[in-house]
Amino acid sequence: MSRTYTFFIHLRALPAWLALAREKRAEFSAQKLEPIFEKYPTVKVRWYDVEAFSTKASDIAVFETTSLQDYYFVIDAIRDSEFCTVPYFEFVDIIPAIEDGYVEYESYFTT
């Protein structure tokens, strides 16, 4: 059975990121982040803005994958990039989850 893992990563944009012009932010994403994601196609990423609703995080990235190794490598590559080394962002929290995990749990005990 193939399992999909989901990681809700809470991020905080730092002053170095906020000081960049929007064109520079788009360039950074295209030149630095997209190649990482292209290298690991089993990892899908969605981005959410939450700065108007949270004081702890400004963004939430949702990573979904069937490969924990690929996810791990993506996170290491991001941490090695300017995303974390300038730093442009900091990781506030990582919340792992298994969608409908209880279903498998219940089926295990009812058979």
CATH number where 27 lies: 3.30.70.1030
Residue 65, classed as helix, strand or coil, is strand
What range defines the domain where residue 35 resides? 5-110
Whole-number pLDDT of residue 100: 84
CA distances 2 to 65, 67, 69, Å, are 10, 9, 14
Whole-number pLDDT of residue 1: 64
Q: Total structural domains in the chain?
A: 1
Q: What is the pTM of this model?
A: 0.91
Measured on CA atoms in the order 20, 22, 23, 29, is the torsion positive or negative? positive
**How many other CB atoms sit within 10 Å of the CB of residue 99?**
10
- Strands across the sheet containing 89-98: 43-49, 59-65, 5-13, 89-98
Instruction: Going residue by residue through the chain, which has 111 residues, state the pLDDT in tens, using 9 for 90 and above.
Output: 688 999 999 999 999 999 999 999 999 999 999 999 999 999 999 999 999 999 999 999 999 999 999 999 999 999 999 999 999 999 999 999 998 888 888 888 876
